[in-house]
Structure 1
């Protein structure tokens, strides 16, 4: 490539390995591949600039390739310091010509420096995963807002933040909650988080789940996936919740339900997925078993009170295993923290399987295309993805899997569309 795009990456020599892994993921992303082929033909994003703050993984790389094929100019930064795959950043810059600002394990200042570098593109549209980019726009880069037409948010935590901004009248442009599509939260959150979080904890600790007690904090779609996978591996599952309906759902599915104070002395493995802070706190650490494993599957590193754990510990042994630190308490009990309390499936493993991200990122790509023609009809605030996009992604995924489904007959359609039919 004659002229490289602007970038800040770790090691250009990793580009060839990155290409191999990106192409491997692409094999499992047939829906996004079809979208990319159509975008390459019709170029819906010609002359359009995107700033994206996302996990820089092989699957994200294929989304960036798809937007780029459609004519977009892109600047990508990381939405989590531990989730960046350095071979992927090298490939995106050196092989695919996409501007990337991301390196594994950067500190907080560099993290925000990268966000600002991505925003320097002066974007027309934004992609966010956790709302840090949108938050930066509304605090320190407000001069860019008047040019931004709309954006997409990928994850539950980010959507929650955006809705809070909207309620406060602070959100100044339309954002679409891609996270809330059925093909995202029903599959990405449930099956993706369920599998990839187990994978990460096993890679980090080599723990046997069978016969262990796993405490899942939060029983949304992600929590359901975690509980299902843990039970499938032979674990006894305890669920903690603050929502009575979700707690009842967990009980009816056969899980034990109790407050964290009661679960803390029972658990062998704790996984938080609540999008809230202080879910595991010193009062819980004080009663946990020797060797208990702590992991967070929520977006931000606030669910496990790591600062409180640091203050309690008389000794910290870093890197005792892959992405695992050991904290020794005054009693001599040891607690194991995976991925520094950050998003465990990307901090200690590779994140969701590509086959799941195929749907999530197809939602993203098709929503971006829809926004090109529809952003003027949207007011500042949080908006839903049109249902026809969600259904189209599901239809394409089924077709890629070789699965067909029934079609309504004319009589059935008339029955469902009318009210005249009696019982």
Structure 2
């Protein structure tokens, strides 16, 4: 990132933060992808809250971003699902960093969800609330039922629509790049897109534009009707779609393929995901008879007698191989996260899932246009 671009980004987040910084700043824990532009966002979080720790998503840590965040004086702790899957362990961690303080948890993927009730009940301070960035995480909190604190979700915000569309583009780009590295192309293939949400629908349309025959599978009958209305073939069952697909793109944010599903893949099929393998793929459920071999950079062949398929980027988000860039549109979502943190700090939200006020979203969009529509 050029010096002028970095200065503009810091100015943008400074202006956003000046609008949304609460009178009394809570402590915060930030889960985030550490991409090259992320330090400016982290500084924004540290303005609207007292940032106790950054927890980088383990498969998307850019070394220079990590160095910059640590140089800014912020602690970076190791993130895993296991850290917050055990409520006692999660409580010890939060107590160690922020004992007795009001705390906002800034999440990407529902990491805090398994321990949220315990944290709200037993933490020596107070869990003010959670901000969640992804559809996967939104569902994890919704599945808890009666929430012990407010959760502000930006996952379904209209400010996130440009990001979702561009993430779809980056997923298709990276998938095609890895296939071409082996002399294969997208054109003329049949693809199965699992999940027809905002990301999956974007991927399906982009693949179709590249001459790919696209089949869609989604467990939601409403989304299946949407896919049909847009001209896609819809598989009645996952197995039906898998057997005919030369490319499988998993875009549910939840478990797309179980261990037994891999055996139904066509010989030579490529499998790619839009999020981490721990969410989308039950790789541990694969039969032991499959031999794994790296046959190209970020391409793994799974082989057993009479059957083989290729897994891209170890089953992790394929677009992170090429920076996962969505340009300045990501800054809309990050600004909404800052505003959501401030909304929680004001203390007026009841337990449950909330969205940011439309007036605040409009203010964010107007600020973004001032800086990036040039």
Q: What residue number does 2:353 align with?
A: 382
> Once the 2 structures are TM-superposed, how far is the Cα of residue 363 of structure 1 from its aligned partner?
0.9
Question: Per the alignment, in what secondary structure is the counterpart of residue 334 of structure 2?
Answer: helix
Q: Is the 1:77–1:115 Cα contact (8 Å) retained in structure 2?
A: no
- In the alignment, the residues of structure 1 paired with residue 140 and residue 295 of structure 2 have an alpha-carbon distance, to the nearest angstrom, of 35
Q: What residue number does 2:176 align with?
A: 202
Relative to 1, partners in 2 of residues 1:154 and 1:402: Cα closer, same or farther, differing over 3 Å? closer
- In the alignment, the residues of structure 2 paired with residue 294 and residue 45 of structure 1 have an alpha-carbon distance, to the nearest angstrom, of 49
Q: What residue number does 2:34 align with?
A: 56
> Once the 2 structures are TM-superposed, how far is the Cα of residue 271 of structure 1 from its aligned partner?
0.7
Relative to 1, partners in 2 of residues 1:357 and 1:250: Cα closer, same or farther, differing over 3 Å? same
Aligned residues: 365
Q: Does 1:99 align with 2:70?
A: no
CA RMSD in angstroms comes to 3.3
Q: What residue number does 1:144 align with?
A: 123
Q: What residue number does 2:199 align with?
A: 222
Relative to 1, partners in 2 of residues 1:116 and 1:64: Cα closer, same or farther, differing over 3 Å? farther
Query: Could you list the runs of 5+ residues in structure 2 that have no partner in the other structure?
Result: none
Q: What residue number does 2:240 align with?
A: 262
1:82-128 Cα offsets, whole Å, 9 max, x none, are 1222321111102x22221248xx89679998997576321621101
Q: Does 1:239 align with 2:216?
A: yes
Q: What residue number does 1:275 align with?
A: 253
User: TM-score, normalised on structure 2?
Assistant: 0.84
1:339-394 Cα offsets, whole Å, 9 max, x none, are 33233333x34224232211111111122233332x2x212221121111222233
Relative to 1, partners in 2 of residues 1:43 and 1:352: Cα closer, same or farther, differing over 3 Å? same
Relative to 1, partners in 2 of residues 1:247 and 1:143: Cα closer, same or farther, differing over 3 Å? same
- In the alignment, the residues of structure 1 paired with residue 359 and residue 220 of structure 2 have an alpha-carbon distance, to the nearest angstrom, of 31
1:59-82 Cα offsets, whole Å, 9 max, x none, are 43321111224563341102x321
Relative to 1, partners in 2 of residues 1:139 and 1:181: Cα closer, same or farther, differing over 3 Å? same
Query: Could you list the runs of 5+ residues in structure 1 that have no partner in the other structure?
Result: 1-19, 404-423
1:224-255 Cα offsets, whole Å, 9 max, x none, are 11112212222221111222221121122121
- In the alignment, the residues of structure 2 paired with residue 262 and residue 255 of structure 1 have an alpha-carbon distance, to the nearest angstrom, of 15
- In the alignment, the residues of structure 1 paired with residue 186 and residue 213 of structure 2 have an alpha-carbon distance, to the nearest angstrom, of 9
Q: Is the 2:129–2:344 Cα contact (8 Å) retained in structure 1?
A: yes
Q: Is the 2:36–2:65 Cα contact (8 Å) retained in structure 1?
A: yes
- In the alignment, the residues of structure 2 paired with residue 323 and residue 387 of structure 1 have an alpha-carbon distance, to the nearest angstrom, of 42
Q: Is the 1:327–1:335 Cα contact (8 Å) retained in structure 2?
A: yes
Question: Per the alignment, in what secondary structure is the counterpart of residue 275 of structure 1?
Answer: coil
Question: Per the alignment, in what secondary structure is the counterpart of residue 271 of structure 2?
Answer: strand
Structure 1 residues 111-260: aligned runs within 5 Å: 120-122=96-98, 124-139=103-118, 143-144=122-123, 146-165=125-144, 167=145, 169=146, 171-184=147-160, 186-189=161-164, 191-206=165-180, 207-258=184-235, 259-260=237-238
Relative to 1, partners in 2 of residues 1:234 and 1:289: Cα closer, same or farther, differing over 3 Å? same
Larger Rg: 1
Relative to 1, partners in 2 of residues 1:55 and 1:144: Cα closer, same or farther, differing over 3 Å? farther
Q: Is the 1:213–1:235 Cα contact (8 Å) retained in structure 2?
A: yes
Query: Of Structure 1 and Structure 2, which has the larger fraction of its residues in strand?
Result: 2
Q: What residue number does 1:12 align with?
A: none
> Once the 2 structures are TM-superposed, how far is the Cα of residue 41 of structure 1 from its aligned partner?
9.2
Q: Does 1:86 align with 2:59?
A: no
- In the alignment, the residues of structure 2 paired with residue 212 and residue 87 of structure 1 have an alpha-carbon distance, to the nearest angstrom, of 38
- In the alignment, the residues of structure 2 paired with residue 371 and residue 92 of structure 1 have an alpha-carbon distance, to the nearest angstrom, of 24
Question: Per the alignment, in what secondary structure is the counterpart of residue 64 of structure 2?
Answer: helix
Relative to 1, partners in 2 of residues 1:41 and 1:227: Cα closer, same or farther, differing over 3 Å? closer
- In the alignment, the residues of structure 2 paired with residue 41 and residue 182 of structure 1 have an alpha-carbon distance, to the nearest angstrom, of 20
Q: Does 1:360 align with 2:333?
A: yes
